Structure 1
C-alpha cells in the first residue's frame, strides 16, 4: 500500500477530467444556457446532476464492483463478454474516437482553409493522419498519461477556458434571454435530460481500467484503498467539469442578443467572435483540438488495455497501432455520417450502462446475486435494441407505439420498463428466497 501527495491527486483528477472533457462537453452547456435563458441556474442544476453525477457514479460503481467485468458478470457471464465488448467498440474505433478526430478537423482546421480545401476529402485525410499519429505516440506509454494530461494538456485547456471566462466578465455578452421550449416549464428536468446526452457515464465505465492501472503504478494495490482512490479522483474531475459547465452555461444564457444559434458549436463560434474578434476562431479551434486529442488518447489507451487483456495475442502497442489506424479510416467518413450512426447506437447502449451503475450503487438493497440484474438490465437492453431497429432499419414505424412511453421523445423511454422490471426482479428474489427456506425445512428431519 502507498500514499500519494496532494499534487499527485490533483494530477490524476486532471487526467480523468481531460479524458471526460471532449468536444460534446463544450457544445452542450452554452446551447443549454441560450435555451434556458433566465432559468439557466435551475437548468444547470439538472444538467450537472446527469452530466457530472452519472459519470462520477460510474467511477464509483466500477470501484465498488472491482472492475467493469465484475460488474457486468452480475447479469450473466455471457453478458460480461458481450456488453463490455460492444461498449469498447462503440466508444472506441467504431464511433467515438473517429468522431473526435473528425470534429477536431471541422472546428480546429476547416475554418482556416478555403471553402474548396475545407470540403476536400484530401484535407480531412491529411489532418486525420497527423491527428492520429499524435494520438498513437501519446498513447504508447499509459504510465506517462498523468504527466502528459496533468501537467500539459489539461492546464492548457483550463487556461484557455479561464481566458474566455475572464474576457466575458470584462466585456459581457449581454443580458440573459427568456427561456424557450421545455426549459420554460421544466428547466431542471430538461437540463437533466440534456446532460444525459453527453454520454459520459459510458466513458466512466471504460476509463475505470486506466485510472485503476495508474493508481496501481503509484503503489496503491489494496482493494479498498484502490476503490476509495478511484472515487476521490472521480470527485476531483467532477468538480472541474461542474465549474466549466457553469461558466459555459451562463455565457450561453448571456448570448441572447447575438441571435438564435442552431447548435452549440455555432453558438460558441458566435460568442468567441463577439469576445475576441477574428482571433476567437483560433482560440476556439485550439480548445476543440486539445479536447478532442485528450479524449482520443484516453479512449485509445482504455480500449488497447481492454483488448490486450481480452485477446492477449497482440501486444498493447499493437492494439494502439490497430485502433489508431482504424479510427483514422473511419474518421474519413466525415462528421455528419459518423454522427448519423453514432447517436442511435450509443443511445441503445447508454441506458444499459446507467442501469448497471444504479444497481451497483444500490448493493445494500439489491445484492450482486439478485435476479433484478437479469430482469432490469435485460428489459432495458431489449428496449434499446428495439429502439435501434426502429431508427436504423424501420424508418421509425414503431414511433406511435414507443412514444406512448413517458420521456421517450427526450431519449429516456426506457425508464418505465426498467422500473417495472426492477419490481419483477424483487418479487422473483422473494419467491426464490421463500422456496429456499421451504426446501430447507422440508429437508430437516421431523
Structure 2
C-alpha cells in the first residue's frame, strides 16, 4: 500500500498553502492594518475567524468527505445542492476569484510603470496563457506547484513578512471609517472577501486528486493526509497575515487615500527596497496569483467536466477565457461586485460546513439543516440587498437582530432554527420508536 513520507506531507501542505495564498489573502490584510489602526486586534480577530478558522474547518470537512462538495450540500436536496455547488464553483472560479488573481498581479507587478490602458488586457492574455499551459496537465500539479512554485512563493512571502515586522514605515493611526465603530465586524467581512472558505470547498477536490495521483487509494489515508495539509496551510496563513497586518499598520505615512490593499503593499515595498522592491513584489504577486489561478481553474475544470459532456480541456479553455475577459473590469470594481453576492451565500455555506460535523447526531439531516440554511440565506440576502440599496423593510428586519452591527445578523436566527429543528428531529424519532 502506497503511503506518504513526512516530506511528502509537507510538500502537500505547501501545495495547499500556496493554493490558498492568492490575491485576497495578500491585499486585504494591509488595508485592514492601515484603516483599523489602533483597533487592529479586534479587526484581526474577526478576519482570522472567517479567513483562517473557517477555511481550516472546511478543509477538515472536505477531507472527511473525500473531496466531494456535494457531500457537504446534499441535505438541502438534489436541486438545491446542485445550485449551491454550481454557485460556489462559479464564484470561486470565473466570476470573481480567478479574474481577481490577474487584476491583483497586474496592479502590483506593472501598474506603477504607468502603462497604456491596454496594459491590463495584454497582461491578462499572458497570465491566462500560463494558467492554461499548467492547468491542462492536472497530473503534474503536485510536481509543478508543490515542489517548484510553492517553495518560491513561500520564501518570498516570508521575506515580506519579516520585513514588515522589522522595518516599520510609520506609527498606527486612529481607526478610520467603520473600523472606528465596528472593527470586529469589518474584520469578519474582509475575511469573507478572501473567499477562502469557498476556496477550501473547491481545493478539497484538488488535494484529494493530488494524493490519489501518487498512488494512495486508502480512504483513511487520503482523509488523514488532506487533514494534515489543511492544518499546515492554516498555520502558514496566520504567520503571513500577522506580517501583512503589521505592514499596513505601520504604513500610515505612505498611502494616503489608498482604496485597496494592493496600493498599500506597493507603497510599503517601494519604501523598504526602492525600485528593486517593485520587481520583488511583482514576482511575488505573479507567483502567488498564478498558483491560485491554476488551482482554481483545475478544480473548476475537473468538477464541470465530470458532470457535463464537455471535456476537461474544453472547460479549462472556457473558464480561462471567461476569467480573462472579466478581469479587465479592474480590481476595485471586482471587489465591489463581489461583496453583496458573498454576503448572501457565505453564511449558508458556513451553516452547511459546521453542521457537517454534527450529522451523526441527526436522525434526518434534511429536517434539521434545511430550515436553518433557508433562514440563514434570508438574512444574508437582506444584508446583501441592503449593501446595494435594496428594500427598506429587509434592512429593518435585519437591523433588529442581535449582532447586526458585527455583520452577523444571521447567526442567532440560524442557531435558534437549528436548535428547534434538532429538538423536533429527536421528538419525531422517539415517537416513531414507540
Q: Do both proteins adopt the same fold according to a TM-score greater than 0.5, normalized to the shorter chain?
A: yes
Tell me the SS of whatever aligns to 1:353.
Answer: helix
Gaps of 5+ in 2: none
Alpha-carbon displacement from aligned partner over 1:341-393 (angstroms, at most 9, x marks no partner): 22211221211111111101233544673522111112223333444455558
Q: Say if 1:11 and 1:147, in contact at 8 Å, map to a contact too.
A: no
Task: Tell me, in whole angstroms, the C-alpha distance in 1 between the residues paired with 2:260 and 2:334.
Answer: 17
Task: Tell me, in whole angstroms, the C-alpha distance in 1 between the residues paired with 2:123 and 2:393.
Answer: 40
Of 404-413 and 417-426, more deviation after overlay is shown by 404-413
Tell me the SS of whatever aligns to 2:365.
Answer: coil
Tell me the SS of whatever aligns to 2:359.
Answer: coil
TM-score (norm 2): 0.90
Q: Say if 2:164 and 2:246, in contact at 8 Å, map to a contact too.
A: no
Report the equivalent of 2:12.
Answer: 12
CA shift for structure 1 position 180: 5.6
Q: Say if 1:375 and 1:424, in contact at 8 Å, map to a contact too.
A: no
Higher-Rg member (1/2):
1
Residues 248, 372 of structure 1: alpha-carbon distance in 2 compared, 3 angstrom cutoff: same
Q: Say if 2:340 and 2:385, in contact at 8 Å, map to a contact too.
A: no
Report the equivalent of 1:359.
Answer: 355
Q: Report 1:19-168 matches (<5 A).
A: 19-38=19-38, 40-41=40-41, 43-66=43-66, 67-114=68-115, 117=116, 120=117, 122-168=118-164
Q: Say if 1:380 and 1:414, in contact at 8 Å, map to a contact too.
A: yes
State which of 260, 264, 270 in structure 2 corresponds to 1:263.
260
Of 420-429 and 378-387, more deviation after overlay is shown by 378-387
Task: Tell me, in whole angstroms, the C-alpha distance in 1 between the residues paired with 2:340 and 2:366.
Answer: 30
Q: Say if 2:185 and 2:407, in contact at 8 Å, map to a contact too.
A: no
Alpha-carbon displacement from aligned partner over 1:150-192 (angstroms, at most 9, x marks no partner): 2222222222223334444554424444556676787666544
Gaps of 5+ in 1: 439-446
Report the equivalent of 1:401.
Answer: 397
CA shift for structure 1 position 274: 1.6
CA shift for structure 1 position 337: 3.7
Alpha-carbon displacement from aligned partner over 1:99-151 (angstroms, at most 9, x marks no partner): 2222322332222234xx0xx2x332222111111100010111211122222
State which of 235, 238, 249 in structure 2 corresponds to 1:239.
235
Q: Report 1:209-248 matches (<5 A).
A: 209-248=205-244
Tell me the SS of whatever aligns to 2:2.
Answer: coil
Aligned: 1:287 with 2:284? yes
CA shift for structure 1 position 437: 2.5
State which of 270, 274, 277 in structure 1 corresponds to 2:271.
274
Task: Tell me, in whole angstroms, the C-alpha distance in 1 between the residues paired with 2:165 and 2:381.
Answer: 47
Alpha-carbon displacement from aligned partner over 1:378-428 (angstroms, at most 9, x marks no partner): 222333344445555847674333322334454332212211221221132
Q: Report 1:337-416 matches (<5 A).
A: 337-366=333-362, 369=365, 371-391=367-387, 394=390, 398-416=394-412
State which of 292, 295, 298 in structure 2 corresponds to 1:298.
295
Paired residues in the alignment total 432
CA RMSD for the aligned pairs?
Answer: 2.6
Tell me the SS of whatever aligns to 1:52.
Answer: helix
Task: Tell me, in whole angstroms, the C-alpha distance in 1 between the residues paired with 2:202 and 2:174.
Answer: 39
Task: Tell me, in whole angstroms, the C-alpha distance in 1 between the residues paired with 2:189 and 2:79.
Answer: 31
Report the equivalent of 2:202.
Answer: 206
Q: Say if 1:359 and 1:366, in contact at 8 Å, map to a contact too.
A: no
Task: Tell me, in whole angstroms, the C-alpha distance in 2 between the residues paired with 1:36 and 1:391.
Answer: 21
Task: Tell me, in whole angstroms, the C-alpha distance in 2 between the residues paired with 1:187 and 1:389.
Answer: 22
Task: Tell me, in whole angstroms, the C-alpha distance in 2 between the residues paired with 1:373 and 1:73.
Answer: 10
Q: Say if 1:390 and 1:397, in contact at 8 Å, map to a contact too.
A: no
Tell me the SS of whatever aligns to 1:13.
Answer: helix
Task: Tell me, in whole angstroms, the C-alpha distance in 2 between the residues paired with 1:49 and 1:345.
Answer: 20
Task: Tell me, in whole angstroms, the C-alpha distance in 1 between the residues paired with 2:107 and 2:304.
Answer: 30
Report the equivalent of 2:191.
Answer: 195
Tell me the SS of whatever aligns to 2:76.
Answer: coil
Residues 359, 92 of structure 1: alpha-carbon distance in 2 compared, 3 angstrom cutoff: same
Task: Tell me, in whole angstroms, the C-alpha distance in 2 between the residues paired with 1:179 and 1:389.
Answer: 27
